[in-house]
Amino acid sequence: MRFRFRPAPDPNARRKPRTTAWPMVFAALAGGLSLFSFAPFGWWWLQFPLLAFLFYQVGIDANTKRAAWIGWAYGLGWSVAGMHWLYIALTRFGGLNPILGAIAILLLGAYMGIYGAVATGVASWLRTKWSLKVKPFLLLVLPVMWGVSEWLRGWVFTGFPWAASGYAHNDAPLGGFAPILGVYGIGVLAALCGACIAMLTQRSRMWGISIFAIVIATGAGLHTWQWTQPAGQPIKVRLLQGDISQDEKFDERHLVQALDLYRNMITEAPADLIATPETAIAAFPQQLPVGYLASLANYARSTNSAIIYGIPFADSPTHFANSVGGFAPNGQTYRYDKHHLVPFGEFIPTGFRWFTDMMAIPLGDFSRGAPVQAPFAIKDQRVLPNVCYEDVFGEEIAQQLREAPQPATLLLNVSNLAWYGESVAIPQHLQISQMRSLETGRPMLRSTNNGATAVIDGRGKVQAKLAYYTRGVLTASVQGMAGSTPYIRFGNALFLGLGALALLGAWFSARRARA
């Protein structure tokens, strides 16, 4: 028995209405199952049949409204499953009522589902408007709209691109496209592979088989390409993981204890670079014991070590920044201010003060750092920090490398994911850092509170890692890399341009079919 997609009907013709409820339920379940394609599970191949199922449901009827609802349900399931760990921050550490916490996660999922609705709804609308046949609809329009919807999710209302579909493919064949097309381009190709599987229900299924094989083989081949080159001599790094409980981190009764812990960990042994997690020093410099930062600067000078430490800065009573500070062996200081802030955590969106007032999370309206900031020079290397959530925005890191007079040779992420308990948030974030290394061809160092503290090479491979939820120091020798990948040069413009060409090709295909 073979199932076929219905051709795009006459928009003026009357159609028998089809039920939408059950397809939405199945789409939501399929979206939820996509969790297993990401870390820590790593079943990247599962994404293809799940997207094939979604595209089949959208393709069996040209009703745009129905297609949008099915896409919305898939996005809802995807978001709730993939980001359920936010519930821990809201309830365990934020003090929000558990019922309200669950409602908040569902509302976030409902919002995220809008982007799935955009992908499938707009694709279905174009199918009807252009009277598209099955092949261009499946192989061109749906994958492009899927990628565009993920790109939109990455910047609308400051963006929330966590669990974008491309992240599942770091260690898979499609990861070879990362230095060219970035994570959203990989999302298009993952959708294309799903569309190829959906094509197996059609007479022209050989098109699907052939394109699938070509995409996978090309991605595997691109993994062997070296886009960047070693720069200078390797440096020795010490990456600290303090494993301080989140309910103690901002408690004044434990602050002195934490300050002593990190000072001891920093001064335990010298290294070319010693890095602490985000807000390891959880107080403004003005609030620290006298001589605390001076003791770290003295240690840097006396041992020829460079130190990067996470700290909030207060430049005035109303101007705060989530930052990292640095001490160089020659006495110079360094500062990087976080540019891409977390909604509700580091700034409060207009109209949502009532929501943050319900929680006990130490919130603040931080000021944004500049989009492009200088890296920290350490011997032959230049280290560019990014703070926690900033790691999710690959186009912004690419911009830093593209526009800096002296681009960084190493990337450093400092994070604190203790907000999310023992959940999949930590391995997911490690996977995101791997994608940044693939896109830029540069190693990524990670110093985190409770994981994942790791060293990732310029090919996105984890070279060393500390166990999660433990206290320790990761020591490694790291080689910096120089040069530009296509993604550094063009950012998302290349993926968007190719998407536009694909849509143009679908339009020409429809015109030729009508001629």
**107 contact partners, CB below 8 Å, separation of at least 6:** none
Nearest alpha-carbon partner for 191 in 128, 120, 113 = 120
CA 364 to chain CA centroid, Å, is: 23
Burial annotation 422-442 (CB, 10 A radius, 16+ → b, else e)? ebbbbbbbbbbbbbbbbbbbb
What tokens were used for 481?
A: 């890399």
- Give me the catalytic one of 135, 193, 196, 338: 338
Please say whether the beta carbons of 62 and 396 come within 8 A: no
* CA–CA gap between residue 505 and residue 507 (Å, rounded): 5
- Give me the catalytic one of 150, 388, 395, 396: 388
Please say whether the beta carbons of 277 and 447 come within 8 A: yes
Instruction: Return the half-sphere exposure (C-beta side, CA atoms, 13 A cut-off) of residue 327.
Output: 24
Q: Which amino acid is at 295?
A: S
* CA–CA gap between residue 152 and residue 158 (Å, rounded): 10
Please say whether the beta carbons of 307 and 299 come within 8 A: yes
Examine the residue annotation and report whether 388 is marked as an active-site residue of this protein. yes
* CA–CA gap between residue 478 and residue 439 (Å, rounded): 18
* CA–CA gap between residue 69 and residue 342 (Å, rounded): 29
Please say whether the beta carbons of 82 and 112 come within 8 A: no
* CA–CA gap between residue 94 and residue 110 (Å, rounded): 22
| 3-state DSSP assignment of residue 125 | helix
What tokens were used for 446?
A: 């990670």
What tokens were used for 47?
A: 């994404």
Please say whether the beta carbons of 237 and 445 come within 8 A: yes
Examine the residue annotation and report whether 268 is marked as an active-site residue of this protein. no
- Give me the catalytic one of 193, 249, 278, 395: 278
Nearest alpha-carbon partner for 139 in 229, 204, 223 = 204
Examine the residue annotation and report whether 133 is marked as an active-site residue of this protein. no
Which residues are catalytic, by number? 278, 338, 388
